[in-house]
């Protein structure tokens, strides 16, 4: 009811607080609807997988190169291992292998873990966003279930 209240002096709840309360209602029904929070979590995870398949995964896994020189009289050899920056694919982006990698990254992001997968720049931003939003949605679902069990 705080979203709709009017104070005695004619003012109402500040817009920022109203927006936060409306978002809380939309995402989890004020912590009473676990199914709503889980549905939002599933939708967010599906969107993350789709975005990673489209723009987040590189065309090929980076291959390491070793270069060096061997001195004529023998001695020390130095190898430099360098990886190229990941590049977006140009052909078919919807493959089973890419879907599997995207799903792995997404499931790891729900529990604040880094997948260790090499991602493009867009993929890194997608993963960071999902690592922020998806655990929050999972927490809303857990709170709603806890509220039900506690009653």
Task: Give pLDDT tens digits for 38-60.
Answer: 999 999 999 999 999 898 888 77
The residue behind tokens 């867009």 is 122
Residue pair 138/41 in contact (Cβ under 8 Å)? The answer is yes
Q: What is the pLDDT of residue 79?
A: 67
Model pTM?
0.71
Pair type for strands 80-82 and 65-67:
antiparallel
Once rounded to an integer, what is the mean pLDDT over residues 131-143? Answer: 89
DSSP string, 65-122: EEE----TT------EEE-PPP---SS----HHHHHHHHHHHHHHHTT--------HH
Q: Give per-residue pLDDT as tens, 10-40.
A: 567 788 888 888 888 888 888 888 899 999 9
Q: Identify the residue with better confidence: 94 or 67.
A: 94
């Amino acid at each position: 009811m705080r979203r709709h209240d009017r104070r005695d002096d004619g003012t109402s709840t500040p817009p920022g607080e109203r927006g936060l309360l409306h978002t809380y209602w939309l995402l989890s029904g004020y912590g009473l609807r676990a199914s709503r929070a889980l549905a939002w979590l599933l939708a967010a995870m599906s969107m993350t997988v789709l975005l990673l398949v489209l723009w987040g995964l590189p065309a090929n896994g980076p291959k390491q190169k070793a270069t060096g020189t061997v001195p004529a009289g023998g001695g020390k050899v130095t190898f430099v291992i360098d990886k190229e920056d990941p590049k977006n694919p140009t052909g078919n982006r919807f493959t089973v292998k890419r879907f599997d990698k995207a799903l792995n990254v997404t499931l790891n992001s729900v529990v604040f873990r880094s997948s260790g997968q090499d991602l493009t720049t867009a993929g890194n931003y997608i993963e960071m966003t999902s690592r922020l939003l998806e655990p929050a949605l999972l927490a809303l679902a857990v709170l709603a279930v806890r509220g039900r069990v506690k009653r």
